[in-house]
Structure 1
Amino acid sequence: MRHRYSILFFPLHVIVDFLSLNMAFVGAYAIKFHSIEAVSYPPYASLLGLFNLVWLLEILVIKPYIYPRQLFKADHLIKKLLILMAIHIAVISVYWVAVKGYYYSREHLLITYALFTSLAVAFRIGSLVFLREYRARGYNNRRYVIVGYGKLAASIQSFYDTHPEMGFHFYGYFDQPSTENHGILKGNYDDLSGYIEKEGIDCVYCCMPYIDNGRLRVIVEDAEVVDYQVKLLVDFRGFLARGASVEYHDFLPVLNLSSQMLADFQVNTLKRSFDFIFSAAALGLGMPFFLIIAAITRITSSGPIFYAQERIGREGRPFKIYKFRSMYVDSEKSGPVLSGGLLDDRITPWGRFMRQTRLDEMPQFYNVLIGDMSVVGPRPERQYFIDQIVEIAPEYRSLLKVKPGITSIGQIKYGYAANIDEMVQRLRYDLLYPRRRSFLFDMWIIAQTLRVMAQGRGK
């Protein structure tokens, strides 16, 4: 049995909220004045009338009780309630000031809103629990089919299978038969219309990668006659993860695939200002300390103090990165070779200590100062290794859209990589950065880096 009683939820919700509002008002009056006799006389009678009128206008204008099943969640329901409450309080406050109603008890108003909020939240949570259980038992359901079989189609079925509380029951796939969907389909396109009428299908999901516009147009036109919903599934997940947005040219929606997050002027301006100030302070205040490191580097092994190497920065632009030398001279005379970790015999004893404490990276504050790097960002690599990484993990290219940094999530969680596989593993951490980039997140990464340096846990 389908038990379609959802239409009753709207009037029930309205009635319960009005009852809760009036009960809260009268109950607060009783708590404050230990009686309810005078509440039906001015001035509180007029205030109660205004309470109800404002709430009614909010319902008519905002329509707070209309939402799809996918949004029937506690946080969404309570958020809408709090918005209504805030507007209601604001209107009542304006009225209070306008009529100079200082004779109204502020304590009464405070108790009223506290009681009303408690009752309204309790009703919403109770309704949510009841409907989820009711739908999970197979009642008040919606029947749906999916037109076009593939990974995207399977994902929407999986979603509803794991959320039975939404009450969506799957009734089959429809597509042109092929070896890929053999034995899976309920029917082909020609069978769809009759099946919808026979089974009373409520919703038809159409997957754009697998259905042409002509077939889609027929399904939409039939929906007007048979009375079912048509929902379009387009796989934008890979684009939206990069910060894509929708623009409207009159009535035409256009998907903007340029990452707004990476091009955000305020974020970039704040980050560059912080980088400049932080690196200048680090170089200035740390100069005596850097001179000591330089002296030890020169004394403990022959060769230059600094080591310069070409790395690839933002948008693929090469630059020279600077470090305190931690390896013996000519360690890569046979070609580019990754460090084999702290046990690599090419690393000097003092270099091993610098790597553990990240002191070898300190000269890169100069790279930050001149704009080649940032304090926080994915570690830059050489083109030789980038080519190999991209073959295994093409998503590495997305890291080239942000400025490389001295420290990163990968450096904290993983450390130095000894081979391509380890570089790819570290990449999994660094890929989080472009999507979560913010000033506070940068501060967290810097704090974690200082902890690693103090504990000497760099590898």
Structure 2
Amino acid sequence: MIRQNQKILTQLYVLSDLLCTLIVFLAAYWLKFHSNLLPYQQGAPFSTYLLWGTIYSFAAVVVGFYLQFYAPKRRKRYTLEVLKILQIQTISFLGLLSLFYITKEVHISREFLGIFFVMNVMVITIYRFMVKKTLSAFRRRGFNKRFVLILGAGSVGRSFYTNLRNYPDLGYEVVGFLDDYQSEHASELANMKPILGSLSDLQEQLSRHPIDEVIIALPLDAHKKYAEIIEICEHAGVKTLIIPDYFDLLPARPYFDNFAGIPLINVRDVPLDELSNRMLKRTFDIIFSLIAILVTSPIMLFAYIGIKLTSPGPVLFKQERMGLDRKSFYMYKFRSMRISTDKVADTQWTVQNDPRRTRFGSFLRQTSIDELPQFFNVLFGHMSVVGPRPERPFFVNQFKEEIPKYMIKHQIRPGITGWAQTNGLRGDTSIQDRIVHDLFYIENWTFLFDLKIIVKTVVKGFVNKNAY
């Protein structure tokens, strides 16, 4: 059982991190002083470097324990682990520099320290990624399991069981259900794990099966039973998790707040509500869009000339879209269609083989070159590089009545590319599926998530079969 071996796994992680850091130290030392690739003047002897490298390695482990880096992270996203690595290495590095100042150590190469820090972050990030992928592969094959007992065989419990089966890399296996109102599943649910008894059998089941976690998936009217259930589980040393009966109203990662000493669930916690996150994203948007405009200026010149030579009318096409806080703005594109009335442009959906397109315009849309002027929208503050795609007010008013939670996408700036688009949801595809992806992005935003979307956009290419 994992709960019995977790201490051993933690010790292995610590030893691996120490070994990894020391190997990187030796590699950085060789690169600086023995590879002949960099100029140097030998200052302190190797023993001094080794002493400080060892201090740094142990300091990083101590900081890691303080920041719960070695806590079980089976359910954690890898991006959070990368952020922890950056945090730990930065704090440890600043601590090392402080020690240099206190001890008046001036003979350590600053260039070596820079090489060591960058290499260490990169190597630990890569090796932790490989470990996570390896563990996921083992879990898919049935190793490293955690066993779960679900209390409640109603819709909530069954939904959890069905969803859990979609994530075999997590390594969870359901032993069965306990329920007071039914002794077996309906015939159409024969593929579900069996109902092992009623809630009164919980203590017996915990002693009979190697249960790691108990999931309480009971209706609201069973609230009075929670205290006894939790007491039985804690007496057996088993973790208890509660799925609220209203879970479908909550975001993917609900945020617990505190008001007047009472814990509260924040129904819609948006990371970009925090000023620091908004400033980080806006700064990145400005820098990235300036670089993008500079790099793609020859392509934009080519598009300008192509539009001028192939069809009459303006080069740029502007269209009203709804953005942050439901405020409208004009989004810019290279014109890819023949001139038409504003009413047609604002209310008619683009379809495959649309007769309004020009031949050169079809090329611009297929290659996404028509989207490049939107980097100016980013500079103006109308859009972000990454975010939900903005829609025309005519369709917004239509979708908000038809699709639940559609208007939540306007709580952040719209983007040139987004999580939905990198998953193939572009052009004439399901609006419902797009909103699901947009909400996931809004609730799970991190700076690394933005970088991941940008990389996926570039790697998958800008040519898209649905872009017409």
TM-score range, shorter chain: 0.5 to 0.7
Q: CA RMSD in A?
A: 7.0
Instruction: Look up the match of 1:322.
Output: none
Question: Amino acid of the residue matched to residue 147 of structure 2?
Answer: R
1:117 CA drift (Å):
5.7
Please state if 1:254 is matched with 2:256: no
How has the CA–CA distance of structure 1 residues 223 and 3 changed in structure 2, closer, same or farther, with 3 Å as cutoff?
A: closer
Stretch moving more, 121-130 or 155-164? 121-130
Q: Residues 72 and 128 of structure 1 are in contact (CA less than 8 Å); yes or no, is this contact kept in structure 2? A: no
1:109 CA drift (Å):
4.3
Partners of 1:247 and 1:124 in 2: CA distance: 32
How has the CA–CA distance of structure 1 residues 4 and 135 changed in structure 2, closer, same or farther, with 3 Å as cutoff?
A: farther
Q: Residues 141 and 169 of structure 1 are in contact (CA less than 8 Å); yes or no, is this contact kept in structure 2? A: yes
Q: Which runs of 5+ in 1 are unaligned?
A: 35-41, 272-295, 297-311, 318-325, 358-372, 417-421, 441-450, 452-456
Which of 41, 53, 61 is 1:59 aligned to?
Answer: 61
Q: Which TM-score applies when normalising by structure 1? A: 0.55
1:220 CA drift (Å):
0.4
Please state if 1:87 is matched with 2:98: no
Question: Amino acid of the residue matched to residue 252 of structure 1?
Answer: P
Task: Write out aligned runs for 1:407-418 (5 A).
Answer: none
Q: Residues 203 and 230 of structure 1 are in contact (CA less than 8 Å); yes or no, is this contact kept in structure 2? A: yes
Please state if 1:6 is matched with 2:11: no
Partners of 1:157 and 1:97 in 2: CA distance: 52
Q: Residues 379 and 408 of structure 1 are in contact (CA less than 8 Å); yes or no, is this contact kept in structure 2? A: no
Instruction: Look up the match of 2:160.
Output: 153
Offset from partner CA, 1:109-166 (integer Å, 9 cap, x none):
45655775677567645644554455444444321111122453224432444544xx
Q: Residues 6 and 140 of structure 1 are in contact (CA less than 8 Å); yes or no, is this contact kept in structure 2? A: no
Which of 237, 240, 244 is 2:251 aligned to?
Answer: 240
Q: Which TM-score applies when normalising by structure 2? A: 0.54
How has the CA–CA distance of structure 1 residues 10 and 65 changed in structure 2, closer, same or farther, with 3 Å as cutoff?
A: farther
Task: Write out aligned runs for 1:264-413 (5 A).
Answer: 392-395=402-405
Partners of 1:79 and 1:408 in 2: CA distance: 23
Offset from partner CA, 1:75-130 (integer Å, 9 cap, x none):
55554334332222222223334444232344554565577567756764564455
Task: Write out aligned runs for 1:192-207 (5 A).
Answer: 192-207=202-217
1:227 CA drift (Å):
1.3
Question: Amino acid of the residue matched to residue 231 of structure 1?
Answer: L
Partners of 1:340 and 1:86 in 2: CA distance: 51
Instruction: Look up the match of 2:105.
Output: 101
Q: Residues 148 and 210 of structure 1 are in contact (CA less than 8 Å); yes or no, is this contact kept in structure 2? A: no
1:11 CA drift (Å):
2.1
How has the CA–CA distance of structure 1 residues 188 and 109 changed in structure 2, closer, same or farther, with 3 Å as cutoff?
A: same
Identity within the alignment, %: 16
Q: Residues 24 and 116 of structure 1 are in contact (CA less than 8 Å); yes or no, is this contact kept in structure 2? A: yes
Q: Residues 147 and 175 of structure 1 are in contact (CA less than 8 Å); yes or no, is this contact kept in structure 2? A: yes
Larger radius of gyration: 1
Which of 175, 193, 196 is 1:186 aligned to?
Answer: 196
Q: Residues 146 and 173 of structure 1 are in contact (CA less than 8 Å); yes or no, is this contact kept in structure 2? A: yes
Instruction: Look up the match of 2:17.
Output: 17
1:18 CA drift (Å):
3.3
How has the CA–CA distance of structure 1 residues 181 and 155 changed in structure 2, closer, same or farther, with 3 Å as cutoff?
A: same
Question: Amino acid of the residue matched to residue 177 of structure 2?
Answer: Y
